[in-house]
Amino acid sequence: MRVKDLIKKEVLTIESTATLMDAAEKMARLNVGLLVVVDKRGEPVGVISERDIVKAVADRLPLVAEVGELAAKNIITIDADADVHQAAKMMRENWVRHLAVVEGGRIIGVISVRDLLADEAIAAMAESLKPKEPPKG
């Protein structure tokens, strides 16, 4: 199964000048755990996750702080045609729960660890782990 098969929603973005409260409200309303932070031209400049917001609140940052100041600038991406195994490996190696999916140099969606745990993805991974032919002996 390819990563692009797991994308369920369009890229969900928030402007870098939006506040932490705006990001939290948008995530809650859309039931997502990550937003792509964009500049005034709509170009991705980072990502902000639920964890980022929780950390900001725990650090007592004001809820009016701009997400652009707190967003992770290193967007961890995976090619749309990559296998779901590669996505799981990247998440594990980078200690993240979300990956931005890219095609032709553009972000086309975001997948989460929850998407990898979907029935179809688990079935595809299990199928790929089966021996191709019965063992001899």
Domain boundaries, the chain: 3-129
What was the pLDDT predicted at 116? 85
- pLDDT-flagged residues of the chain (< 50): none
Tens of pLDDT, residues 26-64? 999 999 999 999 999 989 999 999 999 999 999 999 999
Q: Distance of CA 57 to CAs 47, 67, 91, Å?
A: 17, 12, 24
Pick the CATH number of 3-129 from 3.40.190.10, 2.40.30.10, 3.10.580.10, 3.40.50.2300: 3.10.580.10
What was the pLDDT predicted at 1? 84
On the 0-12 / 13-18 / 19+ scale of CB atoms within 10 A, 9 is exposed
Q: List, as own/partner pairs, every contact residues 31-38 make where C-beta atoms lie below 8 angstroms and the sequence separation is at least 24, other chains included.
A: 32/110, 33/97, 33/98, 33/112, 34/97, 34/98, 34/110, 34/112, 35/67, 36/11, 36/12, 36/75, 36/100, 36/107, 36/110, 37/13, 37/67, 37/68, 37/71, 38/13, 38/14
In 3D space, the residue among 94, 108, 96 whose CA is nearest the CA of residue 12 turns out to be 108
What was the pLDDT predicted at 130? 62
